[in-house]
Structure 1
Amino acid sequence: MKMSRKTISGVNAGSMADIAFLLLIFFLVTTTFTEDEGIRGTMPSPCPEGVDCSSDVAQKNIFSIQLNRNNELMANNETISVDKLRESVKAFIDNNGDQSCEYCNGVKKVDMSDNPQKAIISIQTDREASYDHYIGVQNELVGAYYELREELSKTKFNKTVEELTEEELTILKESYPFRISEADLNQ
């Protein structure tokens, strides 16, 4: 049979849409997405009805950190580098000013925190401060708490934090609770 010159040869693309759709479904089903954790934080529990939750906090129990728009860091009204922040925070939290903490190793200064349960870290960040510097401050604060917990774990349980049971981890968290307050300078 003779082919006509008017017929156009080509590839049958009728099933191409079906194949593309099947490939799309395959990749959607088999792909895993990682979740960003972000900065962990917990909101305080609501005040129970009939209880006065507005208590005054002694100024000596507040470690004030300020990060300004120029990314300059001040801790308790003294300019400080991010590298030295962790040791300053650890000394403040572990101070044991009222000598009620049996596991604390602080220097017992009367003008610093009474004990880890009363120590509060207050962060004030300017809106124009860089996100990298803010995260650096957060890392140092979390690092300070984890180092204090690790030291207590070694002395109290003779284990690393990774080897502890849930009950022992709860004891560490209660011994050195995260008490971090954030406020905005541009309110």
Structure 2
Amino acid sequence: MKHPQQSSLLQVDVKELKGRPGTGEEILRTVPAPAGFATVLVGVAESSDIDLDVRLESVHEGVLVTGTATARVTGECGRCLDPLSYPLTVDLMQLFSWDAEEGRDGDEDDTRIVGEDITLDLEPVLRDLVVTALPFQPVCRGDCPGLCSQCGFRMEEDPEHVHEQLDPRWAALQDLAAELNEDEDKA
């Protein structure tokens, strides 16, 4: 569920741009992140800051939105589960069509429609850009050794940590070798 303040801050009024191709305006604002800007292990925390630096330009077809959005990604490493945090900047470039029919003529995924109240809703565009920019397997650093798959031990604390694992296909040969060694010891 959207918080009313979050929703209104991601709605941009473009009444002044309608019917005036070539005109534009700049938007510099910090908005709270809506819920769901995340994957399983990392994301932009709800209500954390997203800094928008956006230019709206009226074109014949609608409003072209270009600029950047910057936020802090937080979460945990997919290997060792340590917390991680880093800045993420995504580039915006989205055409919002004035006419719903014009938007359907082209590629529906690339064109969005200006709302009936002559506003743009930037939330879906930002969600698409931020979530797809998040790593599928986030790591605290590229050479993170992670945790032992057997016992959960931190491999960074002892890189030589191993568990003796016997391949069950060789178990019969190991038993035979033990028998032969016993026979040699008796002789």
TM-score, normalised with respect to structure 2: 0.24
TM-score, normalised with respect to structure 1: 0.24
